[in-house]
Every structure is written in C-alpha cells, then in structure tokens.
Structure 1
Amino acid sequence: MPRPLIVYRTGNDLDLNEVTALYEASTLGERRPIQDQTRMQAMLQHANLVITAWAHTQLVGISRAFSDFAFVTYLSDLAVHRDFQKQGIGKELIRQTQLAGGPHAKVVLLAAPAAEQYYPHLGFTHRPQAWMLDGDAALH
C-alpha cells in the first residue's frame, strides 16, 4: 500500500483533541499533561512556531517551538504518530522548524530518554550544560 502524501502546515490554530490524540499516539503524551485540557490549550496557544504534518485530514506530526527568529529556537515538542514513524516526518518537521526560526538561529531541545539516540544522527550536538528547574520547585 503506498504511503499517503504528507502535507506540512505552519500555525497553532489546531483542534486540541486532535493534538492530544497525536501526543498519545506518539508516546509524547506520557511526558505531557494531556489530561489537563486548559494547560494543553495554553501550551499550544502560546507556542509561536508550530509546524504540523498531515496525511489527508489526519494530524500525524507536530513540532511545537518557541523562537526569537534570530538567535535561538527551542523545540519543546516533536511528535510523530506511531503508524507514521520512520518515514522522515520528524526530520522534516525539524528542518522546517529550523528554516522558520531564521538563518542564524540555533535549534535547542531536551530529548526524551527514548529519543536520545535519534538526534545525533540528524546532526545535533550533545551539550551537557543544560539545566532545568521544575515549575513547582523553589529557588534556594
């Protein structure tokens, strides 16, 4: 059976139920607050660079990022539906995110443990200097 044509779109005006279903079908839902519709809607609404992949009318991939369009683009979510993985969709979502972020902006991300080996194959460089403070953690 031939693969469906994948169409890429830019913009965050998306149906939250479709986005949540994609997160679940990609395993990203395990690490995102998909049960909290208000929080998920805010995450989607406030991202200023969202690229999606569509097979006909089905949302099959998403890159949700924040960019200043000059220096850095933070790729916060990359999800591809399980049934559509290993077809280059994730790579194309990253490529389009990189292009939209501007010619000099670097792409920064935190990899999920299961995806750590994916990014070096695409040309990403590991930087152990990353630091994270959980949202409910107090500064000392």
Structure 2
Amino acid sequence: MTTRSKILYAREPALDAAEFRRVLVESGLGATRPIDDEARLKTMLASADMVLTARLDAPGKPLIGLVRGITDFSWVCYISELAVCKSAQGLGIGKGLLDEVRRQLGPSVAISLISVPDAVGFYERIGMKRMPDAFWFGREG
C-alpha cells in the first residue's frame, strides 16, 4: 500500500461480520475480541449506533479500518473499537476515522474510549486527554 492511495471514510451500518472480524484480527484487536463467535460479532455491529469504515479507493475497495461507537448523538459517544489493519497503521487512518466521527457528531458531543496499552501513545499524540476517574466492571465471558 502506498500513502498516495485515497482513503474513503463512510458510515456502514450494515458492515459484514466477516469483514469486521478480519480487521479486528489484522489490527491486533482480535486478541481481546470474541472473533470466534460470529453471532456475538453480528450483535456488536447491529447494536452499534455508529459504524464508520476506512476503505482504500482501489478495486474491490478493501476495508482497512473501522470505528464502532455507541452514542446518543447529543452528549457522548463511546468508541468501543478503533481498528486499523497493521499494514495501514502509521498512515493516519486511525486519526482520519476519529476526525470523521467528530465531524459527524459535531462539537457538542464528547468522545471517550478505553485504550489497549500499546495504543495509549497514539491517543495522546492526536490530542485526546486521559480520564483518571474512569471505572470498569469486567465481563464474565
């Protein structure tokens, strides 16, 4: 892939679960997601309020990144996944996806997420602020 390839950002509420799974695996997030549970992946997509994708403007329009979010479109959006295929990391795709989320939500909607440890530096570099008072109930299964 070259940096000259045009990236197409779009809302894709009907994203295919197999494409979702592939990007989770190729981004490295597959280790922390239920990639072997197709029904759960389908529910994750169907229940999201916002699914944005990044595709190469090339034959077949391959999916190289995505954002899945839960939002009320008024106050806050929680980003549950920001995944970019490792082959496309470092090209600005993650920032581009978050910029598109911000553009679509508008300036009055806050955005929050929980980062995997390896991505903390990325979020700091693009200007996101840490939330020291965040809390979490882990899942049991």
1:38 corresponds to which residue? 39
2:63 aligned partner, one-letter code:
L
**Cα offset, 1:11, TM superposition:** 2.3
Q: Is the 8 A contact 1:22 1:59 kept in 2?
A: yes
Distance 2:30 2:105 in 1: 25
Distance 1:104 1:47 in 2: 20
2:49 corresponds to which residue? 48
TM-score normalized with structure 2 length? 0.91
2:109 corresponds to which residue? 105
Structure 2: stretches of 5+ with no match in the other structure: none
Distance 2:108 2:91 in 1: 27
| 1:35-94 deviations in Å (ceiling 9; x for gaps) | 010101100111011110001321000010011111101011000011111111100100
Pick aligned residue for 2:83 from 52, 76, 79: 79
Distance 1:39 1:63 in 2: 17
Name the count of aligned residue pairs.
137
| 1:73-127 deviations in Å (ceiling 9; x for gaps) | 1011000011111111100100111222232011000000111111111111111
2:17 aligned partner, one-letter code:
L
TM-score normalized with structure 1 length? 0.92
Pick aligned residue for 1:135 from 130, 133, 139: 139
Q: Considering only aligned residues, what root-mean-square deviation do their CA atoms show, in Å?
A: 1.5
Structure 1: stretches of 5+ with no match in the other structure: none
